[in-house]
Chains A and B, each alone.
Chain A
């Protein structure tokens, strides 16, 4: 009841999506995300988590159903504006960082959004300082360590100041030390967050609400304790409780 009084920032209604090869990735997914909350999205491989995340940013468009950002449905007309509200961090930072230098990579989104050169430079310097990446401006992203790459990919998104931060398997490419440092960084970000992962310990640490997906459907949704302490439910979908 308390959640309904809070502002809905994302609303997904009966979302369906099939890939060109006919594989049905999403089958009538509906849920809401509220301002300021951290939502965990769990599910096995092929559950549809990544496909769902791509819809939230408008990279994939709904075939059936709708995705609304702050009450506006994503359409071709408003996609640029709405896309800036949802920042998407991909699972593998090597796929996210594509410019010749880290500075250019962080500036990429800002320039696409039409920021002035001076403002871009200022924002890039600020985020590099915030993420302890000063001095790395001229380095090619593929020459960074995996921990640095992950931080850099987060910086490329946060510099755009999105309303919602979406993280796809954020710890998948990190070693234990890298994971610890990255999670501390994510914890400090005071934004609405959606985190998709198999890592239930991380979800337990970062999220207040959890959605469990399987074969393109939502099979359970509730407060963190309700889902993560339901041993029978988790085991039925191949998870060990955290």
Chain B
């Protein structure tokens, strides 16, 4: 709850959040592509890209701690991939640098985008960019179901813990879990049906509609010009 208010207050002040979500989406996707195609030995280019991401972080008004939240979740994968590098031939240090810098830059770019853009804005941006309605509706519904999935998982977990204070044998544990999964899926199905009924009752016809009030402003053009200039410089320098 506290985080919610904190986030909203910052969004109001943040320069990045005041940009049209299409500008943010375009910059995010372009930045990811540029990071991916930049060769590992071009350290100077990575410094430019890192500085630009730092600049985005600064104008998002979120702290580095907030932006970096969850970074440890990608570490096991990074460590595993780092280990596999030593099984290949070539300059291991360059390859390692390439892997880590790209992962981290993409992670920070996506975090800044997700912290400054809510789902409605994203759907509006995608609709304005003429992404098919089916895809935007699917995106909306799948994200809504993450909450349902989370709620049902928590319910089942509580039900399991409340009646099993002792350590279960693996055989019993597997039996209980398989039974729980069936109940869980059944519950998800039932709630999905209720959601769908609630949507139908308010005139849903297969397309999630939003009020589109998006308009590219001077700030967007300035931001995009600066961004594209920097990207061209980074690629061709």
Cβ of A157 and Cβ of B120 under 8 Å apart?
A: no
Cβ of B195 and Cβ of A100 under 8 Å apart?
A: no
Cβ of A160 and Cβ of B202 under 8 Å apart?
A: yes
Interface with B: A3-11, A36-44, A105-113, A213-221, which one? Answer: A105-113
Cβ of A95 and Cβ of B191 under 8 Å apart?
A: yes
Cβ of A57 and Cβ of B198 under 8 Å apart?
A: no
Bound CA span A92–B4, Å? 24
The tally of residues in A whose CB lies under 8 Å from a CB in B reads 35
B94 at the binding interface (Cβ < 8 Å): no
Cβ of A90 and Cβ of B198 under 8 Å apart?
A: yes
Cβ of A109 and Cβ of B202 under 8 Å apart?
A: yes
Please indicate which of the listed interface residues B4, B199, B212 has the most CB atoms of chain A within 10 Å of its own CB. B199
Q: Which residue from A92, A107, A138, A142 sits with its C-beta under 8 Å from B211?
A: A107
Cβ of B198 and Cβ of A111 under 8 Å apart?
A: no
Per DSSP, are chain B's interface residues mostly helix, strand or loop, or mixed? Answer: helix
Cβ of A99 and Cβ of B200 under 8 Å apart?
A: no
Task: Report the contact-size class of chain B (Cβ under 8 Å from the partner).
Answer: 20 to 34
Cβ of A142 and Cβ of B147 under 8 Å apart?
A: yes
Cβ of B198 and Cβ of A112 under 8 Å apart?
A: no
B197-211 residues at the A interface, CB under 8 angstroms: 197-205, 209-211
Cβ of A138 and Cβ of B209 under 8 Å apart?
A: no
A180 at the binding interface (Cβ < 8 Å): no
Q: Which residue from A84, A100, A113 sits with its C-beta under 8 Å from B120?
A: A100
A190 at the binding interface (Cβ < 8 Å): no
What are 25 A-B pairs at a CB distance below 8 A? A54-B201, A57-B201, A59-B200, A59-B201, A83-B200, A87-B201, A88-B201, A90-B198, A95-B191, A95-B194, A96-B198, A98-B198, A100-B118, A100-B119, A101-B118, A104-B120, A107-B211, A108-B199, A108-B204, A109-B202, A113-B203, A143-B1, A143-B4, A156-B202, A157-B202
8 nearest CB pairs, A to B: A112-B203, A109-B202, A111-B209, A100-B119, A95-B194, A88-B201, A117-B211, A59-B197
